[in-house]
Chain A
Amino acid sequence: MRSIIYLAIGIFFGIVLFKSEAASWFRIYEMFQFGSFHMYGIIGSAVGIGIIVIQLIKRYNVKSFYGEHITVAPKDRSFTRYMVGGIIFGLGWALAGACPGPMFVLLGAGYAPIAVVILSSIMGTFLYGIVKDKLPH
């Protein structure tokens, strides 16, 4: 039963990512050229509403559908890993024009070359796992 819910949420998210054009390489390029408000509007309105939602959940101690306490685990405090990791991610995001969510959308939409990006992003994750202890965090 829960698997059906996960699948349904994923399908919905995939449709939104495709139809919003957030999965389009061109929209990512245009965003970094400051050519349109579109992507900023998507991220901005999602975050704006997200802030209100999470504040309400915290203030009214909203429980999940299964009666569990909802917590958003705080990320570890650091600067280096977020800034350096973020810059590396951003370089790839702009080049491949896709972050991990849209990668799966594009594979489903039938753009075969995105499989190359997905496989190499798995490889990139693997490389991080290997050199992790040698990196500043």
Chain B
Amino acid sequence: MNWIYDPWPWYVSGPLIALVMFLLLMIGKRFGMSSNLRTMCTICGAGKTSDFFKFDWKAQRWNLIVALGVMIGGFIANNFLSTDTSVDLNPSVITDLQAKGFESAGQAYMPNLLFSNDVFSDPKGLLLLVIGGLLVGFGARYAGGCTSGHAISGLSDLQLPSLIAVVGFFIGGLVMIHFIFPLIF
């Protein structure tokens, strides 16, 4: 059972993600995490500002419960199912990241530069987190889905719109890492 405590290889993780999608279909639901962000807007009263948020959020309650479960899952996996959470990255990626100031590359799960509590007193790091979040939230709704809804669920259903969105995800990601990161790190 020691394998549980190690990072799970892709050929275990990928099929398990497909299993999550299958289970949701079998209980009559659709896989899509970013819809929860819209629901949270509605709960906060955004329906007064835009019709986009005027819907019965209670119909989406199930998805909020899934999101709560995902949080609990993260807590369990980090605290009870892991001995060492450092990510075994490609050595050349580690060298590249360390040159950019990401000293914890290869020794941690998340970069200290952006995800240690020091970031709360670092205006640049905070600003980057805010911009990243804004882009994810805006883009996910504009594209009508995120990695779960388009890349997993939509592609599995062979939907062309999802393929276009996933190509967009990758264009955006490549531009950020290869052209914008050199300017900000």
Contacts and interface: CB of A to CB of B under 8 A. Distances in A.
Nearest to B178: A32
B14 A17 contact: no
Contacts of B147: 43, 93, 99-101
A36 interface: yes
Contacts of A7: 65-66, 68-69, 72
Nearest to B135: A92
Main secondary structure of the interface of A (DSSP, over half): helix
Contact of B13 (A19, A99, A114, A121): A19
Given A32-B176, A42-B13, A17 B105 contact: no
Main secondary structure of the interface of B (DSSP, over half): helix
B25 to A, nearest CB: 5
In this complex, the member of A36, A97, A112, A122 whose beta carbon has the largest number of chain B beta carbons within 10 angstroms is A122
B28 A66 contact: yes
Contact of B78 (A18, A124, A129): A18
B128 A95 contact: yes
Interface string B92-127: 110011000000011011110011110110000110
Interface string B129-153: 1111111111111111111101111
Interface of B: 4, 7-18, 20-30, 33-34, 36-38, 40-41, 44, 46, 49-50, 52-53, 62-63, 65-79, 81-82, 87, 89-90, 92-93, 96-97, 105-106, 108-111, 114-117, 119-120, 125-126, 128-148, 150-162, 164-178, 180
Given A16-B8, A33-B93, A91-B173, 11 more contacts: A32-B178, A47-B152, A51-B155, A83-B165, A85-B142, A86-B169, A92-B131, A94-B172, A96-B128, A97-B110, A128-B142
